[in-house]
Structure 1
Amino acid sequence: MTKTRRRALLITGGALVYALLVGAAGVAGASTRSATPMPAPATASPSATATPTIEPRAVPAAPVGAARLRTCSVAGAASDGRLAEFQAMVVNASTGEVLYDRGGYQPSRTASVLKVLTSAAALSVLGPDYRLATTVVRGAEPGQVVLIGGGDPTLSRTPSGDESAYDGAPHLDDLAAQVRAAWNADPQTAGTPITSLVLDSSYFSGDTWEPSWNRKELYDGYMPEITALMVDGDRDNAYNNTSARSEDPVGRAGDAFASALGGGVAVSRGVAPQGAPQLGRVESQPVSTLVYQTLIVSDNTIAEALARVTAIQAGAGNSFGSLQQGITAGLAAYGLDTSQLRIADGSGLSPNNAVPPSYLTSLFIKVNNREGNLWAVFDGLPVSGRAGSLSYSDRFSGASSRADGAVHAKTGWIDDGYTLSGIVYAADGTPLTFAIYALGDVSDSAKQAIDALTAAFWDCGNNLSNL
C-alpha cells in the first residue's frame, strides 16, 4: 500500500473515532442536565409502539403484631373430673381479650347465675327506685275490702319492727291499720264493721309452678308457688331463708290479713272493682335492695317476682311464658346480643334456661364498670370468703382461700349442674370476668373444683394461657 493511501485511511479512521467520542460526550452531557419536558407531538406517529400497561404493585398488608405468649396454665385445675361436662370462659375486663375458652360460646343451663340476668333486666326496665306495692280498696259489697297483690313476696305477717327473712319488708299490720283508719274516717263506712275480705292475685296469670321445676324445691323450702299475693315468700317460718312453703300462698296471705283486721272476716277470691277507693298501701324496698337480697343469698322468690314484674312493665305479659320476651327486652339496653338466650324462669331453677358463658363475661364487664344501674348488681354479688353464698364454710376453703376477697361472683346449683360467674381481681391487678359451668353427673364437691379453678385464674391474671 502507498504512503498516500495509508495516510488517507488513518485520517478517515481518526475522524470516525472523533465523531463517536463527540456523540458519546453529547449523550453524557444530556444525562447530567436538568430534564426539560419535551412537548408531546400533536399526533402519534403511525409507526410508534403502544406504551405497555403496567399493573400497580401489590402493597403488602400491615404486619400482624406479635401475640403475647402467655405461660400460666390452669390445665391441672381444669382437668378435675368433678367438673364433669366443663365449660368456661375468661376475659380481660380492661381489654376485652378472651384469655381462656372452653365451650364459651355454647348456650347451656346456668342454675342461679341466671339471677344476674333477671336483676340486670329489672334494673333496666323498672329502675333501681321502683317499689312493688300491695294495696287495699273498698269492695263492691257493704262491709267488704279487697286485698290486691302487686307481686311483692317480701310483704310480712310478722309484727312491725320485727324483721322477717327480708330486712325492711312492709308489714300486714301496718296495712291493716291504714285500712281501719280510712274505713272509720269515711262517713259511708264509719261505725260499720269490715265483714268480708276479697283476695285479688290477678296481677300474675298462668301456672304458679314452672313445669320443669322439681316439686321437692317447695317442700325443701327453696321455692314457693309464684303468685302476686303472698307473705314472707310463703315460708312456714317467716324468719328463716330456707323454710318449707305451702300449697296456697294466696290463702296464707288472706288468713294473715284477716287476722290483722281483727278477725271475724269472711275470706274469698276475686278481682277488685274498677275505680274503687284506696284504703291502704304498703311498698317493698326499692328494686336495688331487692336485687341485693336475691343475689347475695340466691333468693329464688324475689328473683321470680322481679322477673314477672319486669315482663309486665315491658309489655310482654304476666305469665312464665312472657319471661323470654320480657327479660331479653330489658337486657337489650346493654347492647349485647341476646339471640342465644333462653329464659324459662327468673331464678335459674329450670334446666331449660340457656346462656353461653361468653354472654356472662360480656355482661360482667359492664357490671364491673357500673354501667347504667348495674352498680346494684355489683353491690349484691357474693364475695369469696367475705359475703353471701361465697362466704359459706364449703366455699373458697383450703388452698382456694388465697383468693378470698378477690372473687365477686354469683353462685348456681341445680340437680345436674353447678355454676359460678362474675369478676376476679387477679393477683397481678388484672380484672377478669369469668364463667364456669360444671354440668351433668355432678356432686356437691363440684363447688370445690370450681373454686380451685377460679383461684387458679386469680393466680394467672393476664398471663393466663389458653392451653
Structure 2
Amino acid sequence: MLPVARLLDLFLMAVRTVSFALAMSLILAAALLTTTGARAAPATTLPGKLDAQLSEWGLDISQVSVYVRAVDAEEPRLLVNPETPRVPASVIKLLTSIAGLDILGPNYHWATDVYVDGRVVGGQLQGNLYIQGYGDPYLTADAFAGILRALRVKGLIAIEGDVVLDNSFLAPPEQERGDFDGAAQRSYNALPSALSVNRQVTDIHIYRDWVNNGVGVYTEPPLTGVEIVNEARLVDAPCARRYHNPIATFIPATETAGPKLRISGTFADECGEEQVGRLLLTPEQHAAAAVDALWRDLGGSIGGKIRLGKVPKGARQFHRALSQPLGVIIRDIDKNSNNLMARMLFLTLGASEKGAPGTLEKSRDTINAWLNKRGLPMPELVADNGSGLSRETRISAGSLGELLSWSYRQPWMPELLASMSIAGVDGTTRRRLRREPIAGRAHLKTGTVRDASCIAGYVLDRNDRRWIVAVLVNGQDGQALGAWRGHAVHHEILRWVYRGAPLPTDSGD
C-alpha cells in the first residue's frame, strides 16, 4: 500500500488541477489498486517462526513444498517451492480419485458376471460355470457370498463341469507383492486382479477354544491344501500384550513339503479372539478357495475343477452383480488409504478409455490426456500406479493445489470431500489435531513412506472460509525422513490456515 504522506501529496496535486470529487475518486482508486496488487502476490516464505523451526527438526526449506489458497480467491496465499517434483506417497490417491470421479462419474459401478455354457436342468448345470471379474475394488467376502447365494436362489445346486475364473479384464501385475518393501504378506502390498475377493486377504482367527481347553484356529476362506500347525500355548493370565502374543507364520510349499500355516506364541485365557489378515495365496488361489468354501457352505457341489480361463463365445449370462458406486468406494481409497483399491481404480481408468486388458501404460496415458483436456497440465507428473506404494511417483505441490482448486468447482465435489479423512475424527487423521480447534474442520488425505510425509485437502478456517492446502515434505536425496518431522510441518501450516492464513502485511496481525 502507498504511504499516507505519498497519498496526501497526490491528493493536493489533484485538487489543484481537477475537481475535489474527481481527485478523491482518483486517489481512492490508486489506493485500492495498490492494495489489491499487494495482496495478489502470494507469500513465498513460511509463516511465523516455521522457517526457524525447520532446522530444529532437522529439515531444510529445500525439502518442503507448500500451496495454500482460499477456494474463492483468484491467487494462492502461500507458495513455497510449488514446482518442485516431490514423492507424494498416498496423497497421489487424490489424483486417482478425482480422475475416477470425472472420467467414470460418481455413480460408476463395477460388474461381476456369471456365465454358463450348458443347460440347467433340475438344479444341475450340465456344463461349466464362469465367473468374470471387471476389477471390483470392493468385492468383499460378504459381497462374493451374495453372488453365490443368488445362483442358489435362481435354482442352481450342482455344477457338473468346472468353475472357471476369468480375470482377463486387467493385465497381470508387472511386479511381485514384496517388491516395494519386502513385506509380501502384508495386506497393503496386494496387487490388482480383475477378480479380487476380499482384497485377497486371508483372515486368520485365533481364539480361546473352550471345548478343547486350548487355542483354536480357523481361516476365512478355508485354506484347502494348507496344513495348519497349531503350536500356540494357552496361559492363565490377563489379556495384556506381555502375556498375549499369538504369532501366525505362513510357510510356502517346497519341493518336499506342502504349504503350512504355523500358529505359535502365547494366548492369554482372558482374551477373546485375535484376527490377523495376511496375503497367503495368489489372487487366483484365493478366489478359488472362496468359491469352493462358500459354494459348499450353501449346499452346492462342483463336479469338476476350479481353474483359470476365459468366458467362451456362446456362453450365456446367468447373473450380474454390481458393486457399490464409485462415490462410496473412494471413501475407503482416501479416508482409509487403501492401496489395492486405488490401484484397481487406476487400471479401470485405462481399460474404460482404451479397452481391456487394463494396463499401467494405458492408465498413465489416460490420466495425462484427461489432465490436458481439463486445462491442468502437469509436466512434472509421474503417475506410476495410482497408489502411494511407489518410489517413482512424482507431483508438485502447485499441481496438486491447482487440481484441488479445480475439483472444488465440479458437481462431484461433495463426493470428493466426503472421501477424505476428517482431522481428529476418522480415517488416517483421526488421532491428529483432535484436541485442537481445527478438529472436525479439515478434510485431508495423508501420505507417508520412508522418505516422504505429505498432506493435502481442504480446511475450514475459524471464520468459515474454506482453503486448499498441500504440504509435501521429502527426505534429502531419498533419505529416510521420519514421519514426525513431516507431521510437525503439516500441523503448523494447518493451524496457520485455520487462523485465516494471516500474513505480516495484514492489518491487525
TM-score by length of 2: 0.68
Q: What residue in structure 2 maps to residue 257 of structure 1? A: 291
Tell me how far 1:236 sits from its aligned partner. Answer: 1.8
Q: Which amino acid aligns with 1:327?
A: I
Tell me how far 1:373 sits from its aligned partner. Answer: 2.0
CA distance in 2 between partners of 1:270 and 1:335 (Å): 42
Change (3 A) 1:75 1:247: farther
Which residue of 321, 326, 346 corresponds with 1:282? 321
Q: What residue in structure 1 maps to residue 483 of structure 2? A: 444
Change (3 A) 1:413 1:223: same
Q: Number of aligned pairs?
A: 383
Matched, 1:361 2:401: yes
Q: Which amino acid aligns with 2:114?
A: V
Tell me how far 1:129 sits from its aligned partner. Answer: 1.0
DSSP-derived class of the 1:146 partner? strand
The residue correspondences of 1:353-392 to structure 2 (distance < 5 A) are 353-369=393-409, 371-392=410-431
Which residue of 334, 349, 355 corresponds with 1:310? 349
Gaps of 5+ in 2: 1-29, 119-124, 204-219, 222-273
CA distance in 1 between partners of 2:343 and 2:275 (Å): 15
Q: After the TM superposition, which of the residue ranges 194-203 and 81-90 deviates more from structure 2?
A: 81-90
CA distance in 2 between partners of 1:425 and 1:291 (Å): 22
Tell me how far 1:241 sits from its aligned partner. Answer: 11
Change (3 A) 1:340 1:456: same
DSSP-derived class of the 1:386 partner? coil
The residue correspondences of 1:80-229 to structure 2 (distance < 5 A) are 80=54, 81=57, 85-139=63-117, 142-158=126-142, 171-180=143-152, 182=154, 184=156, 193-207=159-173, 209=175, 213-229=179-195
The CA deviation string for residues 333-389 of structure 1, in whole angstroms up to 9 with x for no partner, is 5432233321101112112111111111112223334x1323211111111112221
CA distance in 1 between partners of 2:275 and 2:385 (Å): 20
Alignment identity in percent? 22
Matched, 1:323 2:358: no
Contact 2:136 2:194 in 1 (8 A): yes
Change (3 A) 1:192 1:230: closer
Tell me how far 1:183 sits from its aligned partner. Answer: 6.3
CA distance in 2 between partners of 1:146 and 1:305 (Å): 21
CA distance in 2 between partners of 1:329 and 1:210 (Å): 29
DSSP-derived class of the 1:445 partner? helix
Contact 1:151 1:229 in 2 (8 A): yes
Contact 2:423 2:440 in 1 (8 A): yes
DSSP-derived class of the 2:189 partner? coil
Change (3 A) 1:217 1:113: farther
TM-score by length of 1: 0.74
Which residue of 377, 396, 416 corresponds with 2:433? 396
DSSP-derived class of the 1:216 partner? coil
Q: After the TM superposition, which of the residue ranges 259-268 and 355-364 deviates more from structure 2?
A: 259-268
Contact 2:158 2:301 in 1 (8 A): no
Q: What residue in structure 2 maps to residue 415 of structure 1? A: 450
Matched, 1:406 2:441: yes
Tell me how far 1:260 sits from its aligned partner. Answer: 2.7
Change (3 A) 1:258 1:289: same
DSSP-derived class of the 2:388 partner? coil
Tell me how far 1:446 sits from its aligned partner. Answer: 2.7
CA distance in 1 between partners of 2:374 and 2:505 (Å): 28
Q: Which amino acid aligns with 1:407?
A: A
The structure where strand makes up a greater share of residues is 2
Q: After the TM superposition, which of the residue ranges 214-223 and 281-290 deviates more from structure 2?
A: 214-223
Matched, 1:424 2:390: no
Q: After the TM superposition, which of the residue ranges 271-280 and 282-291 deviates more from structure 2?
A: 271-280
Q: What residue in structure 2 maps to residue 16 of structure 1? A: none
Contact 2:115 2:131 in 1 (8 A): yes
CA distance in 2 between partners of 1:420 and 1:114 (Å): 10
Tell me how far 1:309 sits from its aligned partner. Answer: 0.8
Contact 1:136 1:146 in 2 (8 A): yes
Q: After the TM superposition, which of the residue ranges 244-253 and 141-150 deviates more from structure 2?
A: 141-150
The CA deviation string for residues 34-56 of structure 1, in whole angstroms up to 9 with x for no partner, is xxxxxxxxxxxxxxxxxxxxxxx
CA distance in 1 between partners of 2:177 and 2:378 (Å): 24
DSSP-derived class of the 2:286 partner? helix
Q: Give the number of the structure whose alpha-carbon radius of gyration is greater.
A: 1
DSSP-derived class of the 1:225 partner? coil
Matched, 1:337 2:385: no
CA distance in 2 between partners of 1:254 and 1:233 (Å): 14
CA distance in 2 between partners of 1:70 and 1:225 (Å): 42
Contact 2:90 2:387 in 1 (8 A): yes
Looking at both structures, which has the greater relative contact order when contacts are Cα pairs under 8 Å and sequence separation is at least 6?
1
Tell me how far 1:117 sits from its aligned partner. Answer: 0.7
DSSP-derived class of the 2:113 partner? strand
DSSP-derived class of the 2:379 partner? coil
CA distance in 1 between partners of 2:50 and 2:463 (Å): 19
